[in-house]
C-alpha cells in the first residue's frame, strides 16, 4: 500500500452520497470540510487530484426537506438540478479556504462512448490539471435519463481514471472495504485486505445494493475495480467516515481493500473495452481462439461459427468461444446479416458471396482488445 500510494502522482477520489450526507439527506459539512482538507493536503504534496462526487440528488432532497428519496426519473432529475448547484457552491467555498481552485465537469455516457467526445473530455481534464485546478466530476443527472436510471459514480470514477491515466483510484463509501460476507448480516465476516485478481468468487462476495442515499453497492465497486485494474490502475475501497482516511491511505496505512492492477491497456483498447455498448456476440472456433489470444491476429470469417444480436457495421461485439467464455471485444467491419453470409469462409470468398469486399477481416486487430 505504501509503495503504491507514494508512487501515485495522479489520484482519482470518488466520494459517495452516504459519505457526504446525513441520514436525513442534509449535507454533512464537517465531513465534507475534512475531506477537502485532506485533498488540499495531497495537492500540497505535489499530487494531482480529480474528485468524482455523488450527492446531487441527496442534496436536493435535503434542501426540500423531503422525508423519502425520489422514486421517479423526473423527481430525481429535478432534485439533481437543485442539489448540484448546492454541492458545487459548498465545494468551491471550502476549497477556496484552502487555496485550491475547482471546476465543475458534468459527464454523460455519450461523452465517453463517442471517440471524438472521449478525446475531448480527456484533453479538457488534462488542461484543468495543467492549470492546477481540481476537477469535480459528476454524471449529468439532470438530463441523462439512462445514467440516472442505471448508472453509478463508482463506474464513472473508474472510467475517468482510465480516461486520464490515473495512478490510483480511491473509492470512499460507507463500508470499510470488501468482506468475506455482508458484515451487516454476518458477524463472522472479515475484511479482505488485498485482491490480486477479480475472480467469480470475488464478484460473488459483492452482494446487493448499498444505502438508500446511494445508487450503487459493492457490486458496482467490483465493476469499477475490473475497469480500473485492467487499465493498470490500483484501486482502494475504504470507509469515508473514518477520520483523515485519505491522509492515512496516503501515508501507506493498511486500510480498506486494495485491488492490484493487471496488465495495462492502450488508450484505444480501454475505450473499446469499457466505454461502448455491446450490441452482439460472435461465437468462434478453437482455431480463432488461438489466433486471437496467442497470435494476436484479427478475426477472420473462417473462424466464425455463429452470431447473436442485431448490429450494423461499426458496432461493438463480444467474441465468445464455444464454451461461452468471453475472449475479446471489438468493432465489426460488417453487419450481422453480412457476417451470416460469410461466416466460415476463407477471406478470398468474401467478394463472391457479398458482391463486394470492403475488408478482409470481420474485426481488425487494431479495433480489438482481448479480455
Pairing assessment for the beta strands 101-107 and 133-139 based on DSSP bridges: parallel
Residue 197 marked ligand-binding: no
Residue 250 marked ligand-binding: no
Q: Which residue, among 257, 314, 239, 250, has the nearest Cα to 280 in the 3D structure?
A: 314
Do 210 and 240 form a contact (C-beta atoms < 8 A)? Answer: no
* 281: Cβ contacts below 8 Å, ≥ 6 apart: 307, 308, 309, 317, 318, 319, 320
Residue 263 marked ligand-binding: no
Residue 306 marked ligand-binding: no
Residue 90 marked ligand-binding: no
Residue 358 marked ligand-binding: no
* Distance in angstroms (rounded) separating the CA atoms of residues 335 and 280: 10
Residue 116 marked ligand-binding: no
Cell reading at 316 = 461493438
Residue 54 marked ligand-binding: yes
Residue 141 marked ligand-binding: yes
* Distance in angstroms (rounded) separating the CA atoms of residues 110 and 124: 16
DSSP 3-state of 171: strand
Helix%, strand%, coil% for the chain, nearest 5: 45, 20, 35
Residue 221 marked ligand-binding: yes
Looking at the DSSP assignment, which residues form a beta bridge with residue 191?
179
Residue 9 marked ligand-binding: no
Binding annotation for substrate: 54, 141, 153
Binding annotation for ATP: 14, 173-174, 215-221
Binding annotation: 14, 54, 141, 153, 173-174, 215-221
Amino acid at each position: 500500500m505504501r509503495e503504491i500510494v507514494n508512487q501515485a502522482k495522479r489520484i482519482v477520489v470518488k466520494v459517495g452520497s452516504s459519505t457526504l450526507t446525513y441520514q436525513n439527506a442534509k449535507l454533512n459539512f464537517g465531513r465534507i470540510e475534512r475531506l477537502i482538507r485532506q485533498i488540499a493536503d495531497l495537492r500540497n504534496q505535489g499530487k494531482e487530484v480529480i474528485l468524482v462526487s455523488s450527492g446531487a440528488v441527496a442534496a436536493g432532497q435535503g434542501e426540500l426537506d423531503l422525508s423519502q428519496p425520489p422514486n421517479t426519473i423526473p423527481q430525481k432529475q429535478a432534485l439533481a438540478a437543485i442539489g448540484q448547484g448546492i454541492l458545487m457552491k459548498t465545494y468551491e467555498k471550502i476549497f477556496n479556504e484552502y487555496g485550491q481552485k475547482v471546476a465543475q465537469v458534468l459527464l454523460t455516457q455519450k461523452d465517453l462512448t463517442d471517440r471524438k467526445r472521449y478525446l475531448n473530455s480527456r484533453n479538457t481534464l488534462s488542461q484543468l490539471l495543467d492549470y492546477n485546478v481540481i476537477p469535480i466530476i459528476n454524471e449529468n443527472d439532470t438530463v441523462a435519463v439512462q445514467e440516472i436510471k442505471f448508472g453509478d459514480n463508482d463506474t464513472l470514477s473508474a472510467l475517468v481514471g482510465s480516461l486520464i491515466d490515473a495512478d490510483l483510484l480511491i473509492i470512499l463509501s460507507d463500508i470499510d472495504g470488501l468482506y468475506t460476507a455482508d458484515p451487516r448480516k454476518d458477524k463472522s465476516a472479515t475484511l479482505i485486505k488485498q485482491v490480486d485478481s477479480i475472480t467469480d468468487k470475488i464478484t460473488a462476495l459483492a452482494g446487493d445494493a448499498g444505502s438508500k442515499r446511494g445508487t450503487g453497492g459493492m457490486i458496482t465497486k467490483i465493476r469499477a475495480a475490473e475497469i480500473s485494474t485492467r487499465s493498470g490502475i490500483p484501486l482502494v475501497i475504504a470507509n469515508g467516515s473514518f477520520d483523515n482516511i485519505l491522509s492515512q491511505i496516503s501515508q501507506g496505512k493498511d486500510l480498506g481493500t486494495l485491488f492490484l492492477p493487471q496488465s495495462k491497456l492502450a488508450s484505444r483498447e480501454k475505450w473499446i473495452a469499457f466505454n461502448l455498448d455491446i450490441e452482439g456476440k460472435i461465437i468462434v472456433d478453437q482455431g480463432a481462439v488461438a489466433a486471437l489470444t496467442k497470435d494476436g491476429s484479427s478475426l477472420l470469417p473462417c473462424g466464425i461459427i455463429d452470431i447473436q444480436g442485431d448490429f450494423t457495421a461499426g458496432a461493438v461485439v463480444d467474441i465468445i468461444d464455444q464454451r461461452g467464455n468471453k475472449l475479446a471485444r471489438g468493432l465489426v467491419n460488417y453487419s450481422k446479416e453480412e457476417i451470416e453470409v460469410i461466416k466460415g469462409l476463407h477471406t478470398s470468398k468474401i467478394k463472391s458471396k457479398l458482391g463486394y469486399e470492403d475488408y478482409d477481416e470481420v474485426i481488425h486487430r487494431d479495433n480489438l482488445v482481448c479480455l
